[in-house]
Amino acid sequence: MLAFLQGFAYGLWLSCLPWFIAGMINPRLALPTDPPRRWQVFLRYWLAAPFIALLAWLTSLWGGFGPSLAGWGAGLVAIPVAIFVERRWRRWRARRQAQRAVRAAEAADRQTREAAERRRREQGLRALDPERPPAGADDIITALCAVKRALLQHGREDLSVQVDRLYSRYSHVLGVLERTFDPQEMAFQRARGLVTEVSRAALDRLNRVVALVAGVANIDAAYVRRRLAESGLAAAERRALERRLALVERTEQRIGEALSANEAVLTVLDDAAVAVSQVDTGQAAPAGAADAALQELHRFAERATRYNRSP
C-alpha cells in the first residue's frame, strides 16, 4: 500500500505540470467548472494537486518501499478521471437544481391558482369558464371569455381574476335591473345601455392588458434577473439584459395602471346595483323611483367616463 502511495505521488506530480500548461492555454480543457477561470487552474494544479501528492509521498515514507508501477499509473490518470467524474457530478447537480426549480414553479403556480380561487370564493365571485360561456351570453360576456382565455394562455391567471370580477359585477347589475324593472320599460333599456357602456370601457382596457401581456410573453424576467445577479457579465450583455428587464417593468406598470382604472368601474357598478336594488317597484316601477334610479345610473356613468383614458 505504501509503495502504491509513493508511486501515486510521483505520477500525480508529473501530471500536474502538463495539465497546468494546458489549463493556462485553454481553461476548459483542464477544468470541469462552468465558466472556467485561469485562477482556478492555478489553484488546482499549482497548489491543490501538488499538495495532495506531497501528502501521499510523505505518508509513503513510513514503509521505505520503492514506488509501484500501479501507483505510477494511478497518479498519471488521477487528474483526467477526476475531471470526468466532477463534470458528470456537476451536470447531475445542475439537472437536479433545474428539476427542483421546475417543481417549485409548479408549486408556486398551484398556490397562485388556489389563492385566486379562494379569493373568488371569499368575494363571492362567479368564475367565468372561457371554454364554456354561460347560456345566453351577450357580446360583453363573450368578449370577457376571449380575454380570460388569452390571459390564461400566457400564464397570467393573476390578471384573469379581474375578468371574473367584472363578469360578476356586470351579471349582478343586469340581474338587479331585470328584477327591478320590466324589460319592456324605457327605464330598463336606458339603464342597461349605461351599464353596457361602462362595462365595455373596462373591457377595452382589459383588451389592452392582453396586448401588453402578449408583447412581453417571450421575455423570461426570472432568467434575466438571475443573469444580472451573476458576476463577470460582459458590459454589452448586461446593458441588453437591463433594457429587457426595464421593458418588462414598464409593461407591468402600465398593466397595473389599467387594472387600477378598472377598479373604478367595478366600484360604480356596485353603486348602481345598490341604487337600483333600493327601488321598490312591485310589479311596475313608479315613475319617480325609476327616474331616481336612472339619475343614479347617469351619475355613475359620468364618473366612470373619467377613467376611460388609455393607461
pLDDT tens digits for 66-100? 777 888 888 888 888 988 898 889 888 888 888 88
Taken in order 18, 21, 22, 27, the sign of the CA dihedral is positive
Are the CB atoms for 206 and 147 separated by under 8 Å?
Answer: yes
- Cα(150)–Cα(156) distance, integer angstroms: 9
| Res. 64: pLDDT tops 60 | no
What is the rounded CA–CA span in Å between residue 152 and residue 217?
A: 12
* Band of pLDDT at residue 285, cut at 50, 70 and 90: very low
CA distances, 165 to each of 10, 61, 200, 207 (Å): 76, 81, 14, 15
pLDDT above 80 for 309: no
Q: Determine the Cα–Cα distance for residues 61 and 50; give it in Å rounded to an integer.
A: 17
Closest CA to 157 of 208, 204, 110, 199: 110
Bond from prior residue into 18 cis (ω within 30 degrees of 0): no
Cα 270 from chain centre: 32
Contact (CB, 8 A) for 8 and 71: yes
What is the average per-residue pLDDT within 269-292?
61
Give the model's pLDDT for residue 293. Answer: 52
Q: Is residue 223 over pLDDT 70?
A: yes
**Mean of all residue pLDDT scores within the chain:** 79
Query: Letter for the amino acid at 111?
Result: Q
In the block, residue with C-alpha cell 346595483: 273
- Quickly tell me which residue has 319617480 as its cell: 288
Torsion, Cα 170 175 177 178, to 10 degrees, reads 140
The ranges assigned to domains in the chain are: 2-100, 134-307
Average pLDDT over residues 161-170: 85
Q: What is the pLDDT of residue 311?
A: 47
